[in-house]
């Protein structure tokens, strides 16, 4: 008799997460429907106030999605057509896309080789007469060391807008991601640590003028009905999404701690696996482990082997921004940013979510070790030797 195929280990388990909030969300949504309070209202205001307090920012403005949040934050701090904005080469394309939507020019730079975060020395080298802002991306749940970035910004009179979509609840040196720059953008896409039941986002800031500007721009440039002071856009946080987000926000600190516990288990399980390069922690930071990312040789073949074994791994991200077709016009070919480019061929995101079990993690680690051995043997060299090159 053929043994049963074990269930797949998902990259993330949104079904299990929703089960924890289902009753609360159902009651909240039914109340919204009963009142037909579909746009704005107390649910949105309550979430904005709660998330601002969670982040440690004076203001939170809910918007339609994370890309809008970044565009609105950049516009609110004064970035306009023709300005240049420095950002890391290894990020989701939306970071650069928000810059382009303003008519500004993204200027990618390389990252550090350990945690793959924005390199402040590369930022300083990229600053030119048209540079207006810096966008540090808190990638994988890790907080960018902001002190050197802030020093570059101060020296050149630049604005700092965080892309904090992957770092909800992360801290470094006593300061919270989302409250470190002139403004910050976050996404509540379902897969984020704090995820909605669809698209949603927010801008956080400690600057009252920036907050007022974001609200104005997000509401068709209208301070009151049928008065339009500037050309804006329509970007609102949906009331139903505010209900979902409020329910999840009440659980986010615990969920983040469960992510950290799971990451520590992976660290122990993978410490002696040949070919796996782990990322060191930052002793000054409390990461939120949005993703558990390792670096391995022969990544695509290892990835395929994991899929065959029922382990849903991912790659975040396979192509640096400057090598995408959308940004070919920047004229930055292969070799422009060697750390980001090399990492793009090695990184692998392992299954990680608050409800992951020890047994699931043990299976992931065993499958990864086996995949590396098999791929290394088929390549005629050990995975460890390849990784050492």
Domains of the chain and CATH, by start: 14-247 (3.40.640.10), 252-388 (3.90.1150.10)
Q: Residue 258's pLDDT is what?
A: 98
Q: Encode pLDDT of 200-240 as tens digits.
A: 999 999 999 999 999 999 999 999 999 999 999 999 999 99
Percent of the chain with pLDDT over 70: 96
| H helices present in 56-157, as ranges | 66-76, 94-102, 120-126, 146-156
Q: Residue 5's pLDDT is what?
A: 61
Of 191, 218, 190, nearest to 202 by C-alpha is 218
Q: Residue 389's pLDDT is what?
A: 40
Phi, psi of 27 (to 5 degrees): -65, -40
Q: Residue 239's pLDDT is what?
A: 97
Q: Taking 60 as the threshold, does the pLDDT of residue 19 lie above it?
A: yes
Res. 388 pLDDT band, cuts 50 70 90: very low
Could you please report the per-residue DSSP string of 37-70? Answer: --BSSHHHHHHHHHHHHHHT-SEEEEES-HHHHH
Over residues 73-99, mean pLDDT: 98
- Token digits for 103? 């008519």
Q: How far apart are CA 9 and CA 365, in angstroms?
A: 11
- The helix or strand, by DSSP H or E, that contains position 329, with its residue range, turns out to be none
Q: Taking 90 as the threshold, does the pLDDT of residue 41 lie above it?
A: no
Q: How far apart are CA 376 and CA 370, in angstroms?
A: 10
**CB neighbours of 288 closer than 8 A, spacing ≥ 6?**
141, 167, 168, 169, 170, 193, 256, 259, 260
Over residues 374-388, mean pLDDT: 63
Q: How far apart are CA 236 and CA 238, in angstroms?
A: 6
Over residues 175-201, mean pLDDT: 98
3-state helix, strand, coil in the chain (%, to 5): 45, 15, 40
Which of helix, strand or coil describes residue 17? Answer: helix
Of 247, 245, 113, 263, nearest to 186 by C-alpha is 245
Q: Tell me which DSSP letter residue 130 carries.
A: T
Q: Residue 99's pLDDT is what?
A: 98
Q: Residue 378's pLDDT is what?
A: 80
Q: Residue 69's pLDDT is what?
A: 98
Q: In what order do the strands lie in the sheet with 105-109?
A: 59-63, 201-205, 183-187, 159-163, 131-134, 84-88, 105-109
Percent of the chain with pLDDT over 90: 93
pTM above 0.85, yes or no: yes
Q: Encode pLDDT of 255-303 as tens digits.
A: 999 999 999 999 999 999 999 999 999 999 999 999 999 999 999 999 9
- Token digits for 72? 């609105």
Res. 377 pLDDT band, cuts 50 70 90: confident
- The helix or strand, by DSSP H or E, that contains position 388, with its residue range, turns out to be helix 383-388
Rg of the chain (C-alpha set): 22
Q: Taking 70 as the threshold, does the pLDDT of residue 387 lie above it?
A: no
The CA distances from residue 16 to 176, 193, 247, 248, 312, in Å, are 28, 13, 14, 13, 16
Res. 376 pLDDT band, cuts 50 70 90: confident
Q: Taking 50 as the threshold, does the pLDDT of residue 383 lie above it?
A: no
């Amino acid at each position: 008799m053929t043994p049963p195929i074990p269930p797949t280990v998902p990259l993330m388990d949104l079904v299990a997460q929703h089960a924890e909030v289902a009753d609360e969300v159902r009651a909240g949504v039914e109340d919204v429907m009963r009142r037909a309070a579909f746009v704005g209202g107390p649910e949105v205001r309550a979430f904005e106030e709660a998330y601002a307090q969670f982040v440690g920012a004076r203001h939170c403005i809910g918007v339609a999605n994370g890309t809008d949040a970044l565009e609105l934050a950049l516009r609110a701090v004064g970035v306009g057509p023709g300005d240049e904005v420095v950002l890391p080469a290894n990020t989701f394309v939306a970071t650069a896309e928000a810059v382009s939507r303003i008519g500004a020019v993204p200027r990618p730079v390389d990252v550090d080789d350990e945690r793959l975060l924005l390199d402040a020395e590369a930022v300083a080298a990229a600053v030119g007469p048209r540079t207006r802002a810096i966008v540090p991306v808190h990638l994988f749940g890790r907080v960018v060391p902001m002190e050197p970035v802030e020093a570059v910004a101060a020296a050149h009179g630049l604005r700092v807008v965080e892309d904090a979509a992957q770092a909800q609840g992360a801290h470094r040196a006593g300061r919270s991601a989302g409250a470190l720059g002139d403004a910050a953008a976050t996404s509540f896409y379902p897969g984020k640590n704090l995820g909605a039941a669809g698209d949603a986002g927010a801008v956080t800031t400690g600057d009252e003028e920036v907050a007022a500007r974001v609200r104005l721009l997000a509401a068709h440039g209208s301070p009151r009905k049928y008065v339009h002071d500037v050309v804006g856009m329509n970007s609102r946080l949906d009331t139903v999404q505010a209900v979902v987000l409020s329910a999840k926000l009440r659980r986010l600190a615990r969920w983040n701690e469960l992510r950290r516990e799971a990451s520590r288990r992976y660290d122990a399980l993978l410490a002696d696996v040949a070919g796996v390069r782990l990322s060191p922690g930052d002793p000054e930071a409390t990461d939120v482990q949005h993703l558990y990312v390792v670096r391995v040789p022969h990544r695509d073949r290892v990835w395929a082997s994991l899929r065959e074994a029922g382990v849903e791994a991912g790659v975040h991200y396979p192509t640096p921004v400057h090598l995408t077709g959308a940004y070919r016009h920047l004229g930055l070919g292969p070799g422009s940013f060697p750390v980001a480019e090399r990492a793009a061929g090695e990184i692998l995101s392992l299954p990680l979510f608050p409800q992951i079990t020890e047994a699931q993690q043990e299976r992931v680690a065993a499958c990864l070790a086996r995949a590396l051995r098999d791929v290394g043997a088929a390549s005629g060299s050990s995975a460890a030797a390849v990784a050492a090159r």
